[in-house]
Structure 1
């Protein structure tokens, strides 16, 4: 794992709702953050996104499993996100694997794109929609 990716993964995994001011140490002012559910431009909006994220969950953890550098200033991190939400799955842990494609310059990430199954993250855990998705998966699988 590159020094940059190792440092980023360690620092990102240590974030919580009390340390979001440290996002500026990881991301540039012009950050473009994208995941299957959101697209955010700029550090202030990214900070707001994380504030809202942490306000709606009980706990959130990232475990990083590996990394690949794919050129100068870009690479991938593989991870499992675990979270608990009081209204999903009875507050039990929900685990979702994914990966992040990062672009960095001058020691900060300016492009962050996450790849994960949005259904496994959220939709499958909603009471009515979850049953419909489970039925569809059985029919298609």
Structure 2
């Protein structure tokens, strides 16, 4: 968590406001982010990662923390190869006066190895900061990875569901 706060503080200092609220640049940056995850696939990651993420991006999806676009490309391609399909729908976006964007979304995943043929749905939010080129410089996800992933893994999923029932 401290790493996230340090990177956030650095981004706020180095990039106070990437663009004006309501500007075409803001709309384009948010549209690129939505397009990147709208139908997540290895090919799409390869085609769009350079148009969506900054070379020095800091990324955390609650499963992995990465620094740099090349590391992110590799991780996201591997993640996309592990699913039959993955769609993210952006529900709404809020921006504060410091240039922080909060994007609320739903994700529908169909895993190749776990519960094949069944869709898994989860909700989440991404905290984004953009650089002056409209590329994502910071991406911190907030989502329930137990419901979105771990509960669907044989044995582990049963244990997690049992723990949740007892809490």
| Structure 1 alignment gaps of length 5 or more | none
CA distance in 2, matches of 1:135, 1:124: 10
Q: Deviations over 1:5-42 (max 9, x none)?
A: 64234322255322223111111100000011101110
CA contact (8 A) 1:5 1:75 kept: no
Which protein is richer in strand relative to its size? 1
| Structure 2 alignment gaps of length 5 or more | 1-20
Aligned with residue 11 of structure 1, among 35, 38, 48: 35
SS at match of 2:116: helix
SS at match of 1:95: strand
CA distance in 2, matches of 1:38, 1:138: 27
Q: Which moved more, 1:121-130 or 1:2-11?
A: 2-11
Q: For the aligned residues, what is the CA RMSD?
A: 1.8
- Calculate the TM-score normalised by the size of structure 1: 0.90
CA contact (8 A) 2:29 2:52 kept: no
- How many residues align structurally? 140
CA contact (8 A) 1:100 1:113 kept: yes
CA distance in 2, matches of 1:14, 1:125: 21
CA distance in 2, matches of 1:15, 1:93: 14
- Calculate the TM-score normalised by the size of structure 2: 0.77
